Chains A and B, each alone.
Chain A
Amino acid sequence: GENVEQHPSTLSVQEGDSAVIKCTYSDSASNYFPWYKQELGKRPQLIIDIRSNVGEKKDQRIAVTLNKTAKHFSLHITETQPEDSAVYFCAASSGGNYQLIWGAGTKLIIKP
């Protein structure tokens, strides 16, 4: 079955700098890759997603890139702000039973 690995587990960046979180997946049939942000004590919320027919997607300060050949995708956050501090999860999904396989999460810390 699918396996998703996420790195790093913790990322600390200076406010205003960029942050990059990377995920790899194992199932070449996976075709949907969302990124979720979970603030402490709250539910995960989708921040951006990408499907396998696209290589890159951007939404203001957030972008996701997908390399299907290498089977990895990355989250890029530019001009980081204190409110970006949270745990970020990547996931991969194939058509099958619509199941999402999750990465282990990255705790992003924005230093003032």
Chain B
Amino acid sequence: GAVVSQHPSWVICKSGTSVKIECRSLDFQATTMFWYRQFPKQSLMLMATSNEGSKATYEQGVEKDKFLINHASLTLSTLTVTSAHPEDSSFYICSARQGMAEAFFGQGTRLTVV
């Protein structure tokens, strides 16, 4: 199947700093990319949906100035957690779709803010 690569797999950062997470579709053009946050033993919480070349659509309660999403090309989307705080510590995972085809997930990023 298609491959979505997400980096880094884990990151530890100091409170107040920013962290960028990359999501790449390696062998298909991702017309839509999704960013999720997953708490332990819970479902996937959609943060935002992004289409290539346009602004991301954020879900209610997600601060767009804190979680910056860029979908600059059909194969790359980035999520930047700005001014990170301990409560931002979580598992972030992206997925990518081409049209209405199957969604493929990245391997996720474990963010720990200390």
Task: List the interface of chain A (C-beta within 8 A of B).
Answer: 32, 34, 42-46, 49, 89, 93, 95, 97-105, 107
- Residue from the set A32, A45, A100 with the largest chain B CB neighbour count within 10 Å: A100
B108 contacts across to A, CB distance below 8 A: 43
In the complex, the answer to whether B32 meets A97 with C-beta atoms within 8 Å is yes
In the complex, the answer to whether A43 meets B100 with C-beta atoms within 8 Å is no
A32 contacts across to B, CB distance below 8 A: 100
In the complex, the answer to whether B107 meets A97 with C-beta atoms within 8 Å is no
In the complex, the answer to whether B105 meets A44 with C-beta atoms within 8 Å is yes
A100 contacts across to B, CB distance below 8 A: 34, 46, 95, 103
In the complex, the answer to whether A97 meets B49 with C-beta atoms within 8 Å is yes
Write 22 A-B pairs (CB below 8 A) sorted by A numbering.
A34-B103, A42-B107, A43-B105, A43-B106, A43-B108, A44-B95, A44-B105, A45-B105, A46-B1, A46-B104, A49-B102, A89-B43, A89-B44, A98-B32, A98-B97, A98-B99, A100-B103, A101-B46, A102-B44, A102-B46, A103-B43, A107-B41
